[in-house]
Homo-oligomer: A and B are copies of this chain.
Amino acid sequence: MDIRAYVTEKAREAKTASRRLATLSSVVKNAVLLSMADQLESQSAMLLSANAKDLEEAKRQGLSKALIDRLTLNPKRITEMAMGLREVAALPDPVGEVIKMWRRPNGMQVGKVRVPIGVIGIIYESRPNVTVEAASLCLKAGNATILRGGSEAIHTNAAIVEILNKAGESAGLPSGSICFIENTDRQAVMEMLAASAFIDLIIPRGGEALMKTATENSRIPVIKHDKGLCHTYVDADADLSMAYDICMNAKVQRPATCNAMETMLVHEGIARAFLSKMIKGLQEAGVEVRGCPKTRSMVPGLKEAIEEDWTTEYLDLILSVKVVRDMDEALEHIARYGTQHSEAIITRDYGRARRFLSEVDACAVFVNASTRLNDGYQFGLGAEIGISTSRIHARGPMGLEELTCAKFIVLGTGQLRE
């Protein structure tokens, strides 16, 4: 198989489709999404049998139980995917929105209008539901997609895309709007990253190796969904009961996510009063706590937190704890070890809350709330294709608006450049 020719042909199809998609009405797009939802449900048998092939292969290869669980479809998960499609159909269409419009002294009106980006390439390693989420959000924002999922889900993903396209096309979706790369060779990813004539944006979703591949090789703009090494700083003036609840939530509620807390920073003025109860609670919830020397002197029996702990995104029930002299030390620690993802302060002090908001550089900065709330649904964006750790175009949770760009329109009456 000539992988370059194959990927280029898919990308070209997506580009052609994207021109028609850009002017498709919301009515048609919504009908397409609802038809997809219905077909996913009514063809669940076909989906489950494709999934069975992937599961068989996964077991043969001895994949971990967690990975196999993520890969597994069942009627409940299929219904959830269908519900997701119906929710996207119900969201307002971002395309065509006049973001602002103003009049110039020479009388011409200048406006900024939201338009689709064009073709979005998504490279992902995660669960099959990402296929549905990514394709539907891009489609609602008027974009064609070219999808490259993980090899372990290839049969499931291919079946999903087939159902989506068939259902979509019967409701008016241009052919080629959702292209799936049915090739697991790494070269296929490299060819996507090189297809700058057809693909306008690359969104990689996955581990560090994928981020590095995309950043180092792409000739197309990349919006990264990279890791989060997130801190919560419990200030001298914190409400300690609130701090307890927030830190517990940030660590325990779903530790494998990018916005979970990995390091807790505690002001030394309240450390003795706070830490023993907090650490006991965390340990009872199954968390392994590792401490700096001061932490270990206050709460005996903890494992030592070494330099590597401050730089590790555990994604697990492990937490490193550091007692800091003052807020300056907390800010320095965050600037040095943080990944500019989700950072929180717990305090009742107005000035320090304000300073934290202004000085901490991260895609989301929290006062008195759990870092786990860094999420498109929680923020009210209606949906989320992921959390951008890039600074360009979109930063933080990406909803439908972030899957569009803008063009200027000028309504004139004969204006010239003087």
Contact = CB atoms under 8 A, between A and B. Distances in A.
Give how many copies assemble into the complex: 2
Contacts of A372: 416-417
Given A115-B361, A366-B412, A369-B412, A405 B379 contact: no
Nearest to A379: B110
A223 B368 CA distance: 37
A215 interface: yes
Query: Which among A364, A390, A417 has the greatest number of chain B C-beta atoms within 10 A?
Result: A417
Contact of A392 (B117, B253, B412): B117
B409 A370 contact: no
Interface string A83-115: 000000000000010000010100010100101
Interface in A372-408: 372-375, 378-380, 390-393, 395-397, 405-408
Contacts of A391: 117-118, 200-201, 221, 405
B369 A414 contact: yes
A115 B395 CA distance: 11
A4 interface: no
A249 interface: yes
A392 B221 contact: yes
Interface string A347-360: 00000010001110
A63 interface: no
Q: Per DSSP, are chain A's interface residues mostly helix, strand or loop, or mixed?
A: mixed
Given A221-B390, A405-B392, A409-B365, A378 B201 contact: no
A245 interface: yes
Nearest to A388: B405
A219 interface: yes
A324 interface: no
A252 to B, nearest CB: 10
A357 B409 contact: yes
Nearest to A387: B408
Interface in A193-217: 196, 200-201, 215-216
6 contacts: A23-B359, A115-B361, A249-B416, A368-B414, A372-B416, A397-B408
